[in-house]
Amino acid sequence: AKACGCRRNSVFSARHTCPLDWPKTKAELRMRATASIALLLANSASAFNVQGFFGKTVQPRAATQAASAKWSPRVASDPLKMSLATPASPTTSAGSTDALEEYVQKHGGNRPIRKVLIANNGMAATKSILSMRKWAYFELGDENAVQFVAMATPEDLKANAEFIKLADAYVEVPAGKNSNNYANVDIIVDVAKEYNVDAVWPGWGHASENPKLPTALTELGIKFIGPTAPVMSVLGDKIAANILAQTANVPSIPWSGSWGNEGDDGPLQANLQEDGTIPLDIFNKAMVTNVEEAVDAAKRIGFPVMLKASEGGGGKGIRMNDNEEELRANFPQVEAEVPGSPMFMMQLCTGARHLEVQIVGDEHGNAVAINGRDCSTQRRFQKIFEEGPPTIAKPDTFLEMQRAAQRLTQQIGYIGAGTVEYLYKAETDEFFFLELNPRLQVEHPVTEGLSLVNLPATQLQVAMGIPLNRIPDIRRFYGRKDAEEGDGPIDFMTEAYKEIDTHVIAARITAENPDEGFKPTSGTIERVNFQSTSNVWGYFSVGANGGIHEFADSQFGHLFAKGSTREQARKALVLALKEIEVRGDIRTTVDYLVQLLETEAFKENTIDTSWLDGIIREKSVSTELDPHVTVAAAAIYRAYAQVQAGEANMVEALGMGQLGMGALKSLNNFPIEIAYKDIKYNFQVQRTSADVYTFTINGGSFEAKVRESPDGSLLVEYDGMTSKIVGFEEPLGLRVIIDGTTCLLPNIFDPSELRTDVTGKVVRYLQDDGAQVEAGTPFVEVEAMKMIMPLKATESGAIKHELSAGSIIATGDLLASLALKDPSKVKKIEAFDGKFDIVPATPEFFVADPVTALENVIDGYERLSELRPLEELVQGLMKKCSSADEAANTVATLLQRFCAVESVFAGKVQDDVNQALVKDKKDALAEVVGLNMAHSQFTNRQNAILFLLRQFASLSIAQFAERPMTDELSAALTTLESLEGKEYGSLKIEASSLIREASVEPFSSRKEALRETLSNADDVAQLARGTTISSGVDLLSSFFTDSDSKIAQKSIETFVRRVYRAHNVLNMEVTEVDGVYTANFEFNLGGMEEPGPLRKGVMVVAKDEADAVAKFPSIVDSFSAKIGANTYDSPVNVIHVAYGNPAIIGTDAEASTIATAEAMVAKEKAKLESMGIRAVHIIAPQPEMDPRYFSLTSCDDYREDPLRRDMRPTFYHLLELNRLLDNYDVQRMNSVARNTQVYLGVEKSNTGRGPAPQSVFLRALSHSADLTTPSGSTRVLLTALDELDRAVLDERVTATTSTRIFLNLLSEVETSTDEALETFRSILGQLQSRYATRLLRLKVDEIEVKIRVKGADGSLTPLRLIASSMSGKWLKADAYLEFPDPVTGVTSQFCPLGEAGEDDAK
C-alpha cells in the first residue's frame, strides 16, 4: 500500500490495488513489484519531520492533534496568524529536485511544482495525495518529490481524517461550514501565500468552481491546478455553460435560458467579452432570482422541472418539482444549500440517461477526451453508481459526444480536467448538453480504471506546462510504444485511443440512512474493514477511530470494480460490498447498494435517471431485515451488554472494598424489553453457560451463543445461523448492526416531543410558534452534511419552538414540543403476544453434552427446567459412560465441583469470605464474582446434586447391573457430608445414605443367603414372625417368579405374613396356575379384644405391568367369587398385584407406572366398591434394589396416594398417619431406615399472624422384643435421634420446629399395663439423664410408644405410652388404654392409667 502511495493506514488491508495498478503485462507487473519493494524499504527510513519545509515551521503529518497550529482572529495587518515559529529553509533533497526539474524539461513543461496546497478535505484530498504520490514514485523514483500541505478544520482533526495523515503537513483552519474554510477564497490564498506553495489543488466542491480563487492565486504567482478564471466563469457556472452550449449549437433541453435572446426571443446567445466572460445582462436573463420568477419559468418550460443552483453539485442545490406547490417549498431549500449561487430552471428530461465525457485540456490548445462514464443511477440527482464505458450509447453516438466535448473545451482554451455532461435518450439516440464541470469529479477513478491514466497526476503535469501529447499516461492511452520518451504529436480530434476491453463500476460509500430517506448521519467511525483484490479497489477518507462530522460531505468511501464485461464487474462489486465492514456511529448505504446491484433492471441496464427515485418512492428495495431477526439481535446485544457491565461493575466494586453481592441476581436471569415498529417485546433472559443465553417470550424459547471478538463485535449463533452483531446505545435508541445491516430501534419517547435524528443546524421553523401542525407534515428545516432537509411532525398539535434558527443540534435534541391535538389518538406501543419467529419448533441446545450442562448448573448458571429436565441430563450422563466406575467418577467430579465452591462459604459469614477472597485474588477479582455467582444459585445447584445422588444407584444398576463406589466417589461424598451448615442437610443425608449403602453386603450375596433361608424353612409362619427375615422383607420380591416354584411360593407367603404381622393372619393358600402365583388369605386386626370383621386379601404375581393390566379384570372377578359382596359400612378387603420381572422405575417412569395402575383400577371401580376393597397395592420389584410400592385407596377414589408411596401396604395404618393428616399439612422427608418414616407437619388451624407452627414427626415400626430393656430402648432411641439429626438439616425446617417420636412395637409384651408404665418411666428417666442435651437440641417434646400387652390369659391389651412436654413438665410419662374401632382399626377412645384413674375415659 505504501509503495503506490494509495494507502498508509494500518486499518486497511495490506493487500492493495488501485485502478492504475491493474495488471497489463507481466513485464510491467515485475517492474512495479520491484519498484514497490524499493519504495517500501525507502519509506521505512524516510523522515516525516518536515520542520522548515515551507519556509516556516508547520505540523508534520505524524504530529498529534494537541500540537496542531491554531487559527487566530483575523486582523487587517495580519490576515493569517499561526502560532508557529519562524521557519528554516526547505529540506527537499537535491536528488528529487533534479529529478523533477529534469522530468518537466524532458517532457516540454515550463515550471516544476514541488509544493501543493490541498484546498479540500475528505475524499478529494485523500485521492489527490494518493494519486500524485504514486505518480511521483513511479515516474521520479521518489514519492516525496512533491510535498503536500493540507488544510484541516478542528472537526476534521477530531474525526481523525485520513487525508491529514497522508499529507506532509497540515494547517488548522476555522471550524464550521465550508464558507469558513475550504470554500473561503481568502483563507486559501492566505495559506498558500504564507507557506510558499507552488500550486493549489482545489479538488471538487468547496471553492473548486469559484473564479475568484484562480484570479487571486494568479496575482500571487501561484499556479491554480485547473482552468483559468475566465474559462471557469464561463464553463464552471451551469448557466453560462448552457448559454455557451447553445451558442455552439450543442443540443440543449428547454430551460430558463431557452428564450430572451435579443431580437427573436430565442435561446440566449453568448456574445463573449474581451475577458472571456458572458455579459452580465445575458447571464441574468437565464436566472430565476425569486419564487415568482421560478414559477413563471416553470409554467413556460412545463412541469416537471429541475430547480438548480449554478454553483451546486454532488446532489446539493438541486430539486425536482412536479408542481407549483413543490417548487415553492423547494426554492428556499436550494437557496440555503448553496448560499449566494445563481439559480436556473431546466425541464426534467424523463427516461434519459446521464452520460458524461472526461476531458483534459492543456495550455497548448490541446483537448483530449478520455472516454466517459454512465452516471444514471442517481438519488435526488446525486450519483450512486458510476460506470464506464457507457455501453448504453451507440459507439458512433458516444464518439460524437466526445468530439463535441473536445470542440467545446478547445474553443474556449480550457486547461485542466473537466467533465462534459449529457442527457441521452436511448430510444431516439439523442443527446442534450447538461453542463460542464470545470473540475475533476469524485468518480474519476472509473475513467482511470478504463484508461489507466492517473488523472490527478495528469492535472499536476498540465499545471507544470507539459503538453498532453508528452504525458506518458496519455501516450500509453493512445497506444504509443514510446510513452516514456516520445514527444511525437497526437491528433486528439481524429485519432482513436486504444480499444477499451474493461468495464468498471463504482459505488459511493456514504454516511446515509437508506431506510430514512437517505438522511445523512454523522459520528465516529471505529474502523473500516475492506480487502482490496485484483479486480476491486477502494479508498476512504476516514481511518480507524475517525469519523464524519456534521460539516463534512456524506461520502467517505469509493469502491471500483472491474471486469471484462459489465456483468463481471457488477458481480465483483457485489462481493466487495458484501465483505466491507464499517463500524461506528454512522449509518451507511452498503447493504442497499448490494440490493440495487442485484435488481433485474440494473443487471439488464434498462435504468434511467429516475429509476432509483422511483424505487425509493415505492420502497421496492429495502435494507430492513425481518423484524424478529432485528429484535432478536437487539435483545442478544442488550443481554450480553448487561451481563458484561454487571460483571465489570461488581469487579470494580470489589476493588473498592464494596462486598455487596445483590447485583448477582441480574447476571443470569433478567428481563429485556425491546421496542420496534410500535411493538414491545418482553423477553426473559437466562444465561445457561458463560456464553449461552436463552430468550423466552410468550412461552417460546430460543438459545443464542455469544462470543466477543477482539474488535468488540459479537459473533452470535442462533436460529441455525451465525451473525456478526455490533450495537450502540445512542440518544435516540439502540443502533444495532447485523451482518453489516444497520437497524435503529428507537427509544420510547414522549409523543409530545419532536426530536432530531440528525446532527447539524436549525435553518428555520416552518410554522409560527403556537401554530397548529399536522402529523406527517414538515415542521422544521435543518442543515446536515451540507444538505437542507425537512423534519416531519409525528403527531398533530400546537407547536412550541424549543430552539431558534441557527442553533447547532445533535442527534436526540429537542426541537419542538406539541400540545397534542387529541391525546387519545396518539399511536400506542402494543405488547407482542404472538409466536416469535426465531423460536424453533423443537428445542435446540448449544450445550448438548449432559455432563457439560450439569457443570454449568453447578457453576451457577440457569437451567431451563421445562426444556432440560434433570432426569434427562442425569440419564444422558449415564448413557455417556461406558462403565459403572466411569459413571461413578463422573459423578464424583461434579460433586467436587460443587464442593469447591461451597467449601469456601460453608459455616462462614459471606462478607468475611469475600473480604478474604478479595485480598487473596486482588488481581483476579472476576474469579471472586464467579464464586459468589455460583454460591448465590445454591438452591438450583443443590437440586441438581440431590437428583444426581438419588438417581445414580438405580440408573447404574439398570445400565451396568451394579452399584459402584470408587475411591473418587467415596472421597467426594465424604467431602460433601462434611460441609458445615443446615443448608447442606439434604445433601448430607443423601451422601451418607450412599456411603452406608456401599458398605452393605452385595445384593447377590444377600439374595443367596435369603434363598438358603427360604429353602431351609419348614414353618413359613414362624419365619415371617422371626428376626431372621427383618433385613430381607423387601428382598423377598426378587423370588416371586423364581424358577424354583417352592422358593417362589415360600417367598410370597413369607412376604404377606411379614407385611401383615401386626394382624392376625387366619389362613393362607398359595397356588400356581399356568405359571401365575396367587396367594389368598384371611385376616383380622391384631391387638384388639374384639378381632372385628373377617378380612380377605389376595396377592397375584403377574409377569410384568402389561400382564397385570391384562389379567386385572380376571383377578377381580376371581376374588369377587371368593369373598362375595361386602357387608360392612367400610371397605375391609385388599388386593395386591406384584410384577414378576424386575424393572427400574425411576423418576421418569414413575408417573407412567402410576397412570397405568390408576387406569387399570378405574375400569373395575364399581366392582371393587361392591367387594369392599379398601386398597389395591402394586408391588414392583427392581433389579438389585428395593421394590417400589404404590397404593390406590378407596378413600381417594382409587387414586394413588403419594404419602403411602414406597411404603409396605400396612405401614400407613401401623404408623397412624391418618392422625397427622387430620391436623397437619404433611410433607414426607428422607429417611434412612426402611421401617422409619419422617414427616414435616405444618398446623392447619393456625390463626396467628406469623407462619404456622411446624413439627417434625418421626414414626417407626419395631419387631424387636427387647425394646422394654434399657439396651434395646437406647438402641431404638439413638436410631430415632440420628434420623432427626438428618431431618432438621432440611432447609424447610425452621429454628423453632419441635420434633415428635412415635414407635409402634409390633412384638407382644408379656407384662401388665401398670408394670409397662413403670418400666417406661424408668427407661425414660435413664434416657433423659444420658441424652438430655441431644433431646433438648432436637426439641423433642413428645415420645409415644404403642405396645400390645399380653396378659397371663393370653389376652392382648393395646397400650399407649406417652412422654409429653405439653403439660409444662418436660417429657412427663403417662399411659393410655386404647379402644380401637373393630372395623377400621382406628382408636376411637383412650383411657388413662395411673394418676388419671381408669374410669376417666376420654
DSSP-derived 3-state class of residue 526: strand
Rounded (10°) CA dihedral 662, 663, 667, 669 = 60
Helices of type H across 1026-1170: 1045-1059, 1105-1123, 1147-1162, 1165-1170
- Provide the β-strand partners of residue 24: none
Of residues 335, 344, 352, 400, the one with CA closest to residue 372? 400
Asked if residue 79 has a cis previous peptide bond (ω within 30° of 0), the answer is no
- Provide the β-strand partners of residue 777: none
Cell numbers at 4, concatenated: 503506490
530 touches 469 (CB < 8 A): no
Residues in the chain: 1402
**What is the Cα–Cα distance from 517 to 520, expressed in whole angstroms?**
9
490 touches 475 (CB < 8 A): yes
Residue 288 CB-half CA count within 13 A: 31
**What is the Cα–Cα distance from 596 to 560, expressed in whole angstroms?**
16
Cell numbers at 542, concatenated: 476516514
> Could you tell me how far CA 444 lies from the centroid of its own chain?
42
**What is the Cα–Cα distance from 893 to 906, expressed in whole angstroms?**
19
Residue 1202 identity (one-letter amino acid)? P
Cell numbers at 146, concatenated: 512533491
Q: Describe the chain by its helix, strand, coil percentages, rounded to 5.
A: 40, 25, 35
Catalytic residue check, 439 = yes
Residue 926 identity (one-letter amino acid)? A
116 touches 200 (CB < 8 A): yes
Burial (CB < 10 A; 0-12, 13-18, 19+), residue 666, is middle
Q: What is the largest CA-CA distance in the chain?
A: 155
The active-site residue, picked from 7, 61, 133, 439, is 439
Q: Could you tell me which residues come within 8 angstroms of residue 560 by beta carbon, excluding any fewer than 6 positions away? A: 19, 445, 446, 449, 504, 505, 506, 536, 537, 538
In DSSP notation, 962-990 reads S----HHHHHHHHHHHT--SGGGHHHHHH
**What is the Cα–Cα distance from 199 to 192, expressed in whole angstroms?**
8
DSSP-derived 3-state class of residue 297: helix
> Could you tell me how far CA 1025 lies from the centroid of its own chain?
69
Give the containing element (helix H, strand E) for 402: helix 395-411
**What is the Cα–Cα distance from 520 to 444, expressed in whole angstroms?**
23
Cell numbers at 1183, concatenated: 433389579
**What is the Cα–Cα distance from 754 to 773, expressed in whole angstroms?**
12
**What is the Cα–Cα distance from 156 to 158, expressed in whole angstroms?**
5
DSSP-derived 3-state class of residue 225: coil
Question: What burial letters (b/e) apply to 172-201, b meaning 16+ CB within 10 Å?
Answer: bbebebbeebbbbbebbbbbbbbbbbbbbb
In DSSP notation, 531-554 reads --BTTEEEEESB-TTEEE-TTS-S
**What is the Cα–Cα distance from 1356 to 1087, expressed in whole angstroms?**
5
> DSSP label at 1090?
S
Catalytic residue set: 439
